Chain A
Amino acid sequence: MKPEKIRVRIKRQDSPQTKPYWQEFAVPYRERHNVVSLLMAIRENPVTSAGERVAPPVWDCNCLEEVCGACSMNINGKPRQACSALVDQLEQPIVLEPLTKFPVVRDLMVDRRRMFEALLKVRAWIPIDGAYDVHTGAPRISPKEWEINYVFSRCMTCGCCMEACPQFHEGSSFIGPAPLGQVWLFNNHPTGKYFREERLHAIMGDGGITDCGNAQNCVEVCPKEIPLTTAIADLGRQTTLQWLKDLFGK
């Protein structure tokens, strides 16, 4: 039997400086709700179960089809995208909390700038001569190479892997699994390879690859099933070789 109401508990926080608190809402049942549409319903009529009218909860979302990476949050204790979390498949009360590894901006919205800064640090791009036609494309890439690269290129920088990683937190300098996956991707591209040393050096120092504790949590929560631990293991080999190369010269 369908319940009449959907019960939701939301961890709220008015600003980065203030203390978090909990509020509970009961939203009239509708088929095929997901967590974002549920939050939209609350936003329009933000009355708690206790009957108090409050400020609508703030969260981050955009595409609603799990390609933009915006709406990551902890849902019933698991980091995932809110848009693809179907209410009919969730135990109630549904507990919504912001990701814990990033500073809270407000309510369920967090500041994930650290992830984008990491992409800058590891130079996650292919240095092209310029964005103009040079009358040729990239070198040929076998369908097999394509297949594995494509999986890595779907990383949305959503932060779920970072949330699940025990080594990544506000007190540590560990760069985290997502940027490492991107290092692997660009090192595996036929011209991206030319600059692999730069990227490897960026992950060899403090907060780099050796901080990975091999907990394997990252692969489990990745909404795009990116084989992050395989990449990290391979990068371990790549950095070791690089270390030897640095030590003994060419």
Chain B
Amino acid sequence: MATDSPRIIVVGGGLGGLWATIKAAEAGFKVALFSLFPVKRSHSACAQGGINAVLDTKGQRDSIWQHIVDTIKGGDYLADQPPIKTMCEEAPGLIMTFDRMGVTFNRTPEGLMDLRLFGGVKNKRTAFAGSTTGQQLLYACDEQVRRHEAAGLVEKHEWWEFLSLIKDSHGVCRGIVAMNLWDMHVEAFSADAVILATGGLGYIYGRSTNSTSCTGAAASRAYQQGALFMNGEFIQFHPTAIPGDDKNRLISEAARGEGGRVWVPRDPKDTRDPADIPEAERFYFLEEWYPAYGNTVPRDIASRAIWKVVKEMGLGIGGEDVVYLDLTHRSREFLDARLAGILEIYEKFVGVDPHTHPMKIFPTVHYSMGGLWIDWEKESKTGGMKQPSPRNHQTSIPGLFACGECDGGYHGANRLGANSLLSASFSGRVAGESASLYIKGLSTTRGSVPPSLLEQEKKRQEEINSKLLASSGKENPFTLHRRLCDIMSNKVGVIRDNKTLDEALAELAELKERSKNIALDDRSTWSNSPLAQARQIQDMIVLGEVIAKGARVRDECRGSHYKPEFELKIPEGKFPGDPEYDQYVDKWMANNEKWLKTTVAKHTAAGPEISFRDVDTSILPPETPRDYR
């Protein structure tokens, strides 16, 4: 490709990256799309339940305003509100675009898109394709990208790993350095704009619902080169996953949305078959504690409730860390049309049929609300996000954009179910448009980037590789990864306290030192996956520090971040109008004064430096606390 033609590099081929690619190609730009593997294998495929958009086709008078309110409140007010507003407004058009791409959304008897109920919401708002919605959306985008590939606009670089950014003397991003995962050679690629769409970071916790590629290493690399990272401490624990040794497999929230009931036997010593336990002897704790939403409370609430029942009340089934998620009251026909994919996963990996036996589940790491800090431009007329604007989704490094789970927008302190496929798609679309507009405003093209700049960064990366290959250290990278997972899972988990977080930070610092002393069992230069993985693990530890440090600094409870020492409890049995409740609201507002701020982490040699920024709450001012009772 001639260096005078403008080019956008997209790193990551999940839903966000593919949308960005499509929009950049539609704008007429050449796109070089980098991915660790064929893009069709990306983690978006694992999203099961659906994608939110207000279509209001269920006679429930659903409204876009309600979607905005649910998203803002679901995130405990921590997300900037104008981009949420725009995302919710554009969601229906986005879903219809997917429909035209051929996504096999479930249909009503009259052939229209069907909708289901999801958590944190009272209306049916979630479009779905069986229980493999993410897979279907990903494939639709994969197909459209292939269409642009056939037209010569997209050039795929699959089996390439992003290693670092190339920044010019003004600090502007001018390309990337990447490594080919087959022949392991390192190469520099110039670009006029770079979009990172590199996904989540659940693998930092080891066992999670994430794929093995969700290491966060790419975001960590950008962070270590100066990109700010926001709200790292907000890690979503999905309430319903099948515990496993290699990964905790997700059972979609759709299971609760379609009527699944969460319960434990009232007597923990009850060893009867669940079918033989009478209703009166079952403890449906979500329904008892949260009668308004019942089993479809948001994820952070459900996860903590399950945690409490098991860890504090000792009611885990058979003394184990599991509770029942029960769908056995639903007909086989109903379940197979709407949930076949997840029931199949349960049966395949556990060997028990969930049509006839309740599933055993427990919370696990699922999603990172935080991510690379991104800018956006406000539209003064509507109060939403101005579109298009080159500022939207641009990171703190000019010319570097971020979209999808690796950016920190939209979800604040907790993400609502079925909002991630929406934000991944929407943000990818926005980033593709923004980067295209940004390029049009550039005074110099990538052709003006001195070759020495590319060469220098490439050399730096090659040296890291050769040092690792030659290292005679004593640390096994995979053992280090397991240690990282233990620290993060045990000390930066569902329930947090400062003493333990201090321990976590000390242990992470120690682990970081150890990770400088890695020895590889493979020193070859062909398809050396341990080399690539060792580098990822080093970068995962750095991001682990960002998460732990943010958690340490934030002395409050908000969304997924829960430090009981600082909890403001809703007075039991009291509701708006009761003096006790009003006092609680006063305290809650005073706490917001101090803590309703975006956490911003900046990389320094000594570790992350944390500062706080105001949140734009101009759409729905924080006046009423979340209350799902």
Give me the interface of A with B, judged by CB distance under 8 Å: 14-15, 30, 32-34, 36-37, 40, 43-44, 46, 53-56, 58, 60-70, 84, 86, 105-106, 109, 112-113, 116, 119-120, 123-128, 130-138, 140-143, 146-147, 149-150, 153-154, 156-157, 186, 189, 191-192
In the complex, are the beta carbons of A149 and B111 less than 8 A apart?
no
Please provide the chain B residues from 528 to 587 with a CB less than 8 Å away from any CB of chain A in the complex: 528-530
CA distance A37 to B206 in the complex (A): 12
- Contact partners of A133 in chain B: CB under 8 A: 90, 93-94, 96-97
CA distance A219 to B212 in the complex (A): 29
In the complex, are the beta carbons of B99 and A62 less than 8 A apart?
no
B107's partner among A54, A132, A142 (CB-CB below 8 A) is A142
Please provide the chain B residues from 184 to 207 with a CB less than 8 Å away from any CB of chain A in the complex: none
In the complex, are the beta carbons of B478 and A44 less than 8 A apart?
yes
B478's partner among A36, A40, A106 (CB-CB below 8 A) is A40
Give me the interface of B with A, judged by CB distance under 8 Å: 19, 22-23, 26, 37-38, 40-43, 45-46, 90, 93-97, 99-113, 129-130, 132, 135-136, 139, 143-144, 146-147, 149-150, 182, 211-213, 244-247, 249-250, 337, 341, 345, 348-349, 351, 429, 476, 478-479, 482, 521-524, 526-530
Q: What's the minimum C-beta distance from A15 to chain B, rounded to whole angstroms?
A: 5
In the complex, are the beta carbons of B527 and A15 less than 8 A apart?
yes
CA distance A140 to B114 in the complex (A): 11
In the complex, are the beta carbons of B96 and A120 less than 8 A apart?
no
- Contact partners of B112 in chain A: CB under 8 A: 140
The 6 lowest CB-CB distance pairs between A and B, nearest first, are A133-B93, A140-B111, A125-B143, A37-B246, A137-B99, A106-B527
- Contact partners of B94 in chain A: CB under 8 A: 133
A192's partner among B37, B90, B102 (CB-CB below 8 A) is B102
A-B contact pairs, 24 of them (CB 8 A): A14-B524, A14-B526, A53-B521, A58-B527, A61-B212, A62-B213, A63-B43, A64-B247, A68-B40, A68-B41, A68-B45, A123-B150, A125-B143, A126-B102, A128-B100, A133-B90, A133-B94, A134-B97, A134-B100, A137-B96, A142-B107, A149-B104, A150-B106, A154-B132
Q: Given contacts A142-B107, A153-B104, are A55 and B522 in contact (CB under 8 A)?
A: yes
In the complex, are the beta carbons of A150 and B129 less than 8 A apart?
yes
- Contact partners of B212 in chain A: CB under 8 A: 61-62, 64
- Contact partners of B351 in chain A: CB under 8 A: 86
CA distance A40 to B108 in the complex (A): 44
CA distance A137 to B476 in the complex (A): 53
In the complex, are the beta carbons of B211 and A62 less than 8 A apart?
yes
Additional A-B contacts beyond A131-B97, A132-B93 (16; CB < 8 A): A33-B245, A36-B246, A40-B246, A44-B479, A58-B528, A63-B41, A63-B45, A64-B211, A64-B247, A65-B249, A125-B143, A126-B100, A137-B100, A153-B104, A154-B135, A154-B341
In the complex, are the beta carbons of A43 and B132 less than 8 A apart?
no
Q: What's the minimum C-beta distance from A63 to chain B, rounded to whole angstroms?
A: 5
A36's closest neighbor in chain B, by CB?
Answer: B246
In the complex, are the beta carbons of B136 and A191 less than 8 A apart?
no
Q: What's the minimum C-beta distance from B327 to chain A, rounded to whole angstroms?
A: 18
In the complex, are the beta carbons of B526 and A15 less than 8 A apart?
yes
- Contact partners of A61 in chain B: CB under 8 A: 212
Q: What's the minimum C-beta distance from B349 to chain A, rounded to whole angstroms?
A: 7
CA distance A113 to B111 in the complex (A): 36
- Contact partners of B135 in chain A: CB under 8 A: 67, 154, 156
CA distance A127 to B96 in the complex (A): 15
- Contact partners of A37 in chain B: CB under 8 A: 245-246
Q: Which of A53, A131, A137, A154 has the most CB of B within 10 A?
A: A131
In the complex, are the beta carbons of B46 and A143 less than 8 A apart?
no
Q: What's the minimum C-beta distance from A145 to chain B, rounded to whole angstroms?
A: 8
CA distance A58 to B106 in the complex (A): 39
In the complex, are the beta carbons of A58 and B529 less than 8 A apart?
yes
In the complex, are the beta carbons of B45 and A43 less than 8 A apart?
no
Q: Given contacts A69-B40, A128-B101, are A137 and B107 in contact (CB under 8 A)?
A: no
In the complex, are the beta carbons of A56 and B522 less than 8 A apart?
yes
Q: Which of B41, B139, B521 has the most CB of A within 10 A?
A: B41
Q: What's the minimum C-beta distance from B261 to chain A, rounded to whole angstroms?
A: 24
In the complex, are the beta carbons of A141 and B111 less than 8 A apart?
yes
CA distance A15 to B526 in the complex (A): 7
A128's partner among B93, B144, B530 (CB-CB below 8 A) is B144
Q: What's the minimum C-beta distance from B136 to chain A, rounded to whole angstroms?
A: 6
Q: Which of A36, A134, A143 has the most CB of B within 10 A?
A: A143
- Contact partners of A68 in chain B: CB under 8 A: 40-43, 45-46, 211
In the complex, are the beta carbons of B104 and A146 less than 8 A apart?
yes
Q: What's the minimum C-beta distance from B254 to chain A, rounded to whole angstroms?
A: 15
In the complex, are the beta carbons of A32 and B245 less than 8 A apart?
yes
Q: What's the minimum C-beta distance from B467 to chain A, rounded to whole angstroms?
A: 19
In the complex, are the beta carbons of A55 and B524 less than 8 A apart?
yes
- Contact partners of B246 in chain A: CB under 8 A: 34, 36-37, 40, 64
B109's closest neighbor in chain A, by CB?
Answer: A143
Q: Given contacts A15-B526, A125-B146, A138-B99, are A131 and B132 in contact (CB under 8 A)?
A: no
- Contact partners of B528 in chain A: CB under 8 A: 58
CA distance A191 to B129 in the complex (A): 18
A109's partner among B111, B249, B476, B527 (CB-CB below 8 A) is B527
- Contact partners of B97 in chain A: CB under 8 A: 128, 131-134
CA distance A116 to B521 in the complex (A): 33
CA distance A127 to B143 in the complex (A): 9
- Contact partners of A54 in chain B: CB under 8 A: 521
CA distance A125 to B479 in the complex (A): 43
- Contact partners of A106 in chain B: CB under 8 A: 182, 526-527
CA distance A227 to B245 in the complex (A): 33
CA distance A11 to B462 in the complex (A): 31
B345's closest neighbor in chain A, by CB?
Answer: A65
In the complex, are the beta carbons of A146 and B107 less than 8 A apart?
yes
In the complex, are the beta carbons of A150 and B104 less than 8 A apart?
yes
- Contact partners of A137 in chain B: CB under 8 A: 95-96, 99-100, 113
- Contact partners of B429 in chain A: CB under 8 A: 131
- Contact partners of B244 in chain A: CB under 8 A: 32
Q: Which of A64, A106, A120, A136 has the most CB of B within 10 A?
A: A64
Q: Given contacts A119-B146, A120-B146, A126-B143, are A65 and B96 in contact (CB under 8 A)?
A: no
A30's partner among B111, B245, B341, B479 (CB-CB below 8 A) is B245
In the complex, are the beta carbons of B144 and A124 less than 8 A apart?
no
A46's closest neighbor in chain B, by CB?
Answer: B521
B344's closest neighbor in chain A, by CB?
Answer: A66
Q: Given contacts A64-B246, A189-B102, are A157 and B107 in contact (CB under 8 A)?
A: no
In the complex, are the beta carbons of A67 and B478 less than 8 A apart?
no
B530's partner among A32, A34, A56 (CB-CB below 8 A) is A56
CA distance A150 to B107 in the complex (A): 11
In the complex, are the beta carbons of A120 and B150 less than 8 A apart?
yes
In the complex, are the beta carbons of B247 and A124 less than 8 A apart?
no
In the complex, are the beta carbons of A63 and B46 less than 8 A apart?
yes
